[in-house]
Chain A
């Protein structure tokens, strides 16, 4: 207690970095839209028009099959989380997303963090469809139901018991990519050779060695955003 004021005074030289950190940390409306809540859905008419344009450019595109593929990808990632085995998710995530996933699972394992509960997808809709000269992207909102709870010594996030929440799964591909005849990554097929998808840890197809998860040839799971918990 006697030393307390001097301990506080030692923080004063760092006030600049404290203020800069605070100024850069989003809060309020911006934080809710940037990170704490899901991005608001685009107007349905705009989404429908974008999907129609996508279909006209890429005759093989099948929205129902794509959505099913995303739901299946979610199951794969969920199982990987439960088993603390990142390699299981290698075949659906983009290269960068997977590398961050590996980091996270290792970090969680080092601290004994476990995810409890299972969940299922009870609804799915495309809430944004965008395209520019470089790439096109779909934001698919999955309505999920079940239990999600992360525990180390204490509950770190979520809660026990049944809940409902939304997750946005964003898939992306190069602007010149079209749906492969085999169905592609979301159908568990290599977009290059059509073989059953088996991705090496370096990100290439085990059969034809093509880069399949860089987004240049086919849709890849590009980002996963969960509503706060």
Chain B
């Protein structure tokens, strides 16, 4: 009888402890929200720097880390001297497609376009793994039902603000690398009730291509039909031709998204 009472008491104790920890966790998250979304930039920046300091390598970058503008201009000139077809406006325009692809993967859990414009290494980074995990969770739920649209999440708008090239590194480990910093505004909504989930986030986006590659200006053209069978693509997010299943080429003029870092502070 005493043993039964002890067991029941133990279970009750564990259960109460679970409640205490869970409530403490909720209070902690509430405090984070108050600090993070409060009006004091100073307090928020302390929080951000603390998070950045504790983040795994390759996930977060603190603002302000970039070379001088003169060095940057010289690096772009160097790039154009070996690749006269390189144009910053066209490059940034392509970077915008990566933002849209990321928004679709992150907020609508459809990663088809993102898969087509990223390097395999992207999916080994903390942010790439986070996107892959979210999409995998949805795919487990969706199974092989026809149509992959997640009816419970949607992207309403995607825009970007103040894009700027922050760094150009040529021939680094056999790759040319350009870093673009921008604020992305992703307006989304989730069911039930289509609650808005808008986020304003700054990322550094690293794009790479093999060193010495030249820009073919026409490579940015978006093919409307499959080169193999001539069949029309139904959507920009299609990875393969729906008629012959041939893989669709990327249209990023050789540049692929390799890494992205959340930018905090600044």
Note whether A and B form a binding pair.
yes
List residues of chain A with CB under 8 Å of any chain B CB.
4-6, 8-9, 11-12, 15-31, 34-36, 39, 94-97, 99-100, 102-104, 106-108, 110-111, 113, 133-135, 150, 152-154, 156-157, 172-174, 200-204, 211, 214-216, 222-225
In this complex, how many residues of chain B approach chain A with their Cβ under 8 Å: the count is: 81
Do A35 and B194 touch across chains, with their CB atoms under 8 A apart? no
- Residues of A within 8 Å of B29, CB to CB, are 18
Query: Looking at the complex, which one of B40, B156, B200 makes contact with A26 (CB distance below 8 Å)?
Result: B200
Contacts of A18 in B (CB 8 A): 29
CA distance A179 to B94 in the complex (A): 24
B21 lies within 8 A of chain A by Cβ: yes
Q: Once the chains bind, are B154 and A111 in contact (CB under 8 Å)?
A: yes
Contact B32 A100, beta carbon cutoff 8 Å: no
Bound CA span A156–B161, Å: 23
Give the residue of A19, A107, A133 whose beta carbon is less than 8 angstroms from that of B155. Answer: A107
Known: A23-B264, A26-B200, A201-B222. A103 touches B93 (CB 8 A): no
Give Cα A203 to B217, complex, Å.
Answer: 12
A–B Cβ pairs within 8 angstroms, 6 of them: A5-B18, A12-B25, A35-B185, A36-B185, A134-B76, A173-B89
A94–B163 alpha-carbon span in the complex (Å) = 15
Q: Does B263 contact A (CB under 8 A)?
A: yes
Q: Which residue of A lies closest to B185 (CB)?
A: A35
Looking at B38, B90, B237, which has the most chain A CB atoms within 10 Å of its CB? B90
Given contacts A34-B200, A94-B93, contact A107 B51 (CB under 8 A): no
Is the pair A97, B36 in contact by a Cβ cutoff of 8 Å?
no
Contact with A along B97-138 (1 / 0, CB 8 A): 101110010001000010000000000000000100000000
